[in-house]
Structure 1
């Protein structure tokens, strides 16, 4: 067995799970002892969910990059750490061995130090999916700076909001990025964001697309020039900063039910231990396997299962710059064929989208190297599960349907590939160390099997979020105040007669669009900023590709006579304020919204209309103006 903590049989899973509940400190202490520590911890766990205050591996000292890189150099130095496939299949791919990646991280760590970055500083990273993105992330961790990666599809306003919240004085970006047939002007977007963020001291710019950019003297420097400076200094070693187990590793912003994105903070040691443990067990990783997670590093999936989890386990991880359908719908399958990929981890949205192209794009490629398939971001529907199983896995690859969140840091509920049973559309069983509980609206536990309720977790796991940056009260309110002494996930859940869990969707004002959480308030705020909009309400509706689409009900003053043009203007406003990912799929203009007499919008009614359930709207007599409901029904798009 490659990893002492790898569970390879159902009996081992049952034993590990029992130990993790009966004696969590001994369980996680054993697993943590497989990693490299500068100083061992004094105590494994100290916690309460009331404040909340959660500490793992108290007073332990380490650096995560020594665990992801240095300790592998002896045995894996010449093995591939990262394989990079560019957007354009004609461009040459790149392979970085563990030794090469280590050298690049040391070099760039020194670049950061030369540019004034110190331990505890926040560094915003806004880059395309190039190997240097992983290098930048690891170099921050090397010197103890806190990275905050922002997905390359976000707008200047979204970046400015995040920079201001984290007070990040340093930015790493590219001149531009390739995504399919598009070029995204990343540096230009950063320049627009920085108009509001005069506190930013340095912007380091990597050359990728050769897009013309404006470089401001004293603030903006080229990545390549800075590397040359380090090389002329005789390429000095970059010492790994000693970090406390609980020092923050990164901030990642996620959308919540209120308008302002919240910066989820993950700690160093607990996050490392849990991502490595979950990676090895969920995917049943074996040394030499090639792991291809198709997510963007701008999301938590990329942090945990492209960068930190695989590298901490000494794995070979793939980074793909492009999209699933470029230059054609066979791109994923050609990548699997080209590199003999063993593990493919992607989103149900991508699978449903590729199903729409039929089997032609699949048939020309050899997929026999695949051993494990995985899905992430949202529950996978049965039809997509069977298509994935039959046509991609050829009915010989277990499918892991992983449930987790930005806040959880790693997978919490999933079958372990080929070890524990799978069930289409079910995440199935919790990983060892994870203690789920279903509760009703009052917070009473819903016991037994064949039941449903709101999904909570009653005991901490090592990679649970520690706080929301700069606002601990918001963390408490969002996750720990709804139900006493429980972490509330915001998801509804069903537990079948065998104890398998199935996530049934959000129970708060958050949508899950293409596996990405988008808060209704955030989109409504963006729509309401359009000059002609009086008020708006957003709900989700079933979308055959994205899982959930965004349906907007908008009260519009009619100043723009052309409704179609007004729709496009509103979409453009949302794109500029949040990013294209949050654009509504449907916009219905209405004269009013269904409100209670106290002024609360009854989204339940709007949601049912958007879903086409016209005859099941419940009691509308208590509304301020019941007549508005019939008008909205009549105008449904």
Structure 2
């Protein structure tokens, strides 16, 4: 493949050379990448380190992200290309928007928000289901230079309230309801309760009425359809903002006290998103991309909305589940019908599919000839899940590791630069711009192959958080104080001699068994390799003799039915697998077969919460838990010694 000659592109080059340039000459590297973006005022320098450790990217640049995501594509010939596809099996509906149509909708929505008093620097909370109007509202805020904060539709009123109070929105954009496979969830009562609980009251609530349930509107409420009627308001043009101005605030799953509002800047993020789509994912203008996430997550922000639209690709917005809407072939149907070049989802989604369709029968019913890669992130990709997807799909299955805070991958296989060897259990290598270092408790860098705390040497690349909303001091104390000149990821793992990164789980999930530090990930890898196990979780529970001992929960694959003797036999086999693959020091003895594992909406297993239950504590339950009933059902099992 020939190397691209367009400024900022790195496709077709040697990964090591690209990585070397990004770390040895970050100024030149990122100014070149910035050529992929249209600037109102082009930056003359990349990094401002004058207030370190609070770094700023492209400090003298000005731009508008909405212009880059929509207007410029219309101007340069993509007006009639489909920009956004909405596929909703839960409402049996589909909608498509060309770039010109989406621009028209966004400009009118921006005009409507402006009429409600929203201007540059103001904040807007978006509390919406997975509908096009959520994307339109996000882009409309960006068009005005306003800061949006997306909160999951259906989020509990108490959690929504603290976010409204912290970000103080002038307007909340919401919908009358969310629709799931078996129920309709009214949003308006939850929104009203949240506002009543909050010390801040928005001036207006803009409400999208859905036909599945209509909401009763009050004095401060404005109907979306009325505001968006052609001619009702003057469409808004785009407002230039400083590259260092915030684009959005996204809250991490806090459980008590004031939540952490992750700030995303405008210029650095736009450059990182545009660069990463082609360099990391191999997706260019005109390609179709299916990211099966939620706009409430960072993955949805980065790779449903901003990344693909800044690139000029077609993005698929999916309102459904990997299974049950209507079957485990749902993702494959999307790939076939829209010709997706790549699919990005979470390992937990693939595990759900394998649980219901272990032989890939539903997958085999679809033409997946357009699919070139499956990308996975959000939870550790175990080798068994990787192997199933690789065997069934016949395309590279690429893990990538990152966080809400970083906004885009810390480590991945950069298929758009140079596809590297895939090693199961590893998200491959450090992404250009990131300097990954594994440190011991003293802050010294460990030898290759040795586990420790995974940290990022400062400064981090563009697109990563510059601070927390309204609280620089908390940002420094939470992330930058454990090790000088490093960002603490909170994950433990290692980097081998070839530079391959292995993330073994949160440092909270490291077990200390009789003085031996063991990762839950290594034990889970052994358990997941059993042919009857669909997924599993290992946690360390308190033990008076050894400090901690491992305890495992496993979920069986669909169709596997065991009597009491069969369960006993399985437990013996699983204990032996851990002993053989991890070592006798792991001392795993207690394994419970359960129906499901508690997870967040992004697919992260709640190991810490389960450990607290097992230790007899009152658990700290993240506000982003997917199904509280799963945890409630597990409580008696976990509390049993």
Q: Residue 199 of structure 1 is aligned with which of 153, 178, 201?
A: 201
**What does residue range 18-167 of structure 1 map to in structure 2 within 5 Å?**
18-47=20-49, 52-73=53-74, 74-88=76-90, 90-91=92-93, 93-167=94-168
Q: Is 1:154–1:579's contact at 8 Å kept on the other side of the alignment?
A: no
Distance 2:635 2:131 in 1: 42
- Give the match's secondary structure for 1:160: helix
Q: Which residue does the alignment assign to 2:456?
A: 457
Q: Is 1:155–1:578's contact at 8 Å kept on the other side of the alignment?
A: no
Distance 2:552 2:110 in 1: 46
Q: Which residue does the alignment assign to 1:339?
A: 338
- Give the match's secondary structure for 2:161: helix
Q: Which residue does the alignment assign to 1:316?
A: 314
Distance 2:223 2:241 in 1: 29
- Give the match's secondary structure for 1:266: strand
RMSD over equivalenced CA pairs, Å:
3.0
Distance 1:580 1:16 in 2: 39
- Give the match's secondary structure for 2:430: coil
In structure 2, relative to structure 1, the CA distance for the partners of 1:100 and 1:440 (3 Å cut) is same
After superposition, the C-alpha distances for 1:350-382 in whole angstroms (9 at most, x for unaligned) are: 001110112222222222221111001012000
Distance 1:124 1:214 in 2: 20
In structure 2, relative to structure 1, the CA distance for the partners of 1:4 and 1:59 (3 Å cut) is closer
Distance 1:454 1:76 in 2: 46
Q: Which residue does the alignment assign to 1:585?
A: 631
Q: Which residue does the alignment assign to 2:281?
A: 283
Q: Is 1:282–1:400's contact at 8 Å kept on the other side of the alignment?
A: no
Distance 1:286 1:203 in 2: 37
Distance 2:480 2:551 in 1: 25
In structure 2, relative to structure 1, the CA distance for the partners of 1:497 and 1:579 (3 Å cut) is closer
Distance 1:504 1:421 in 2: 20
Q: Is 1:2–1:286's contact at 8 Å kept on the other side of the alignment?
A: no
In structure 2, relative to structure 1, the CA distance for the partners of 1:40 and 1:543 (3 Å cut) is farther
After superposition, the C-alpha distances for 1:62-121 in whole angstroms (9 at most, x for unaligned) are: 111111111111221111111110134743x11111111111110000000011112111
After superposition, the C-alpha distances for 1:472-496 in whole angstroms (9 at most, x for unaligned) are: 2111111101101101111112212
Q: Which residue does the alignment assign to 1:240?
A: 238
1:253 and 2:251 are equivalent in the alignment: yes
- Equivalenced residue count is 547
Q: Residue 5 of structure 1 is aligned with which of 8, 21, 44?
A: 8
- Give the match's secondary structure for 1:487: strand
- Give the match's secondary structure for 1:239: coil
1:239, distance to aligned residue in structure 2 (A): 1.8
Q: Is 2:117–2:170's contact at 8 Å kept on the other side of the alignment?
A: no
1:451, distance to aligned residue in structure 2 (A): 2.2
In structure 2, relative to structure 1, the CA distance for the partners of 1:554 and 1:312 (3 Å cut) is closer
1:182 and 2:183 are equivalent in the alignment: yes
1:405 and 2:451 are equivalent in the alignment: no
Distance 2:445 2:50 in 1: 19
1:467, distance to aligned residue in structure 2 (A): 1.3
Q: Is 2:87–2:318's contact at 8 Å kept on the other side of the alignment?
A: yes
- Give the match's secondary structure for 1:277: helix
- Give the match's secondary structure for 1:58: coil
Distance 1:361 1:579 in 2: 29
In structure 2, relative to structure 1, the CA distance for the partners of 1:453 and 1:161 (3 Å cut) is same
Q: Is 1:41–1:57's contact at 8 Å kept on the other side of the alignment?
A: yes
1:157, distance to aligned residue in structure 2 (A): 0.7
1:419 and 2:419 are equivalent in the alignment: yes
1:553, distance to aligned residue in structure 2 (A): 4.8
1:264 and 2:262 are equivalent in the alignment: yes
Q: Which residue does the alignment assign to 2:583?
A: none
After superposition, the C-alpha distances for 1:124-145 in whole angstroms (9 at most, x for unaligned) are: 1011111111100000000011
- Give the match's secondary structure for 1:231: coil
Q: Which residue does the alignment assign to 1:548?
A: 605
1:474 and 2:474 are equivalent in the alignment: yes
In structure 2, relative to structure 1, the CA distance for the partners of 1:435 and 1:356 (3 Å cut) is same
1:199, distance to aligned residue in structure 2 (A): 1.7
After superposition, the C-alpha distances for 1:317-366 in whole angstroms (9 at most, x for unaligned) are: 11001111111221111111221221000100000111011222222222
1:356 and 2:355 are equivalent in the alignment: yes
- Give the match's secondary structure for 2:134: helix
Q: Which residue does the alignment assign to 1:485?
A: 485
Distance 1:341 1:390 in 2: 19
- Give the match's secondary structure for 1:261: coil
Q: TM-score by structure 1 length? A: 0.80
1:509, distance to aligned residue in structure 2 (A): 7.8
Distance 1:140 1:502 in 2: 38
Q: Is 2:226–2:232's contact at 8 Å kept on the other side of the alignment?
A: no
In structure 2, relative to structure 1, the CA distance for the partners of 1:256 and 1:102 (3 Å cut) is same
- Give the match's secondary structure for 1:322: coil
Q: Residue 16 of structure 2 is aligned with which of 10, 14, 21?
A: 14
Distance 1:436 1:454 in 2: 10
Distance 2:505 2:179 in 1: 33
Distance 1:363 1:215 in 2: 47
After superposition, the C-alpha distances for 1:427-463 in whole angstroms (9 at most, x for unaligned) are: 111121111111111111114x222211111132001
Distance 2:130 2:480 in 1: 34
Distance 2:614 2:356 in 1: 38
- Give the match's secondary structure for 1:140: helix
Q: Is 2:9–2:33's contact at 8 Å kept on the other side of the alignment?
A: no
In structure 2, relative to structure 1, the CA distance for the partners of 1:269 and 1:486 (3 Å cut) is same
1:412, distance to aligned residue in structure 2 (A): 1.7
1:582, distance to aligned residue in structure 2 (A): 5.7
Gaps of 5+ in 2: 511-519, 522-538, 540-549, 556-596
Distance 1:89 1:163 in 2: 29
1:329 and 2:328 are equivalent in the alignment: yes
In structure 2, relative to structure 1, the CA distance for the partners of 1:202 and 1:540 (3 Å cut) is farther
Q: Which residue does the alignment assign to 1:227?
A: 228
Gaps of 5+ in 1: 513-519, 521-538, 558-566, 591-608, 611-631
After superposition, the C-alpha distances for 1:565-603 in whole angstroms (9 at most, x for unaligned) are: xx9xx99x969x76645666367879xxxxxxxxxxxxx
Q: Which residue does the alignment assign to 2:170?
A: 169
Distance 1:120 1:14 in 2: 40
In structure 2, relative to structure 1, the CA distance for the partners of 1:117 and 1:543 (3 Å cut) is farther
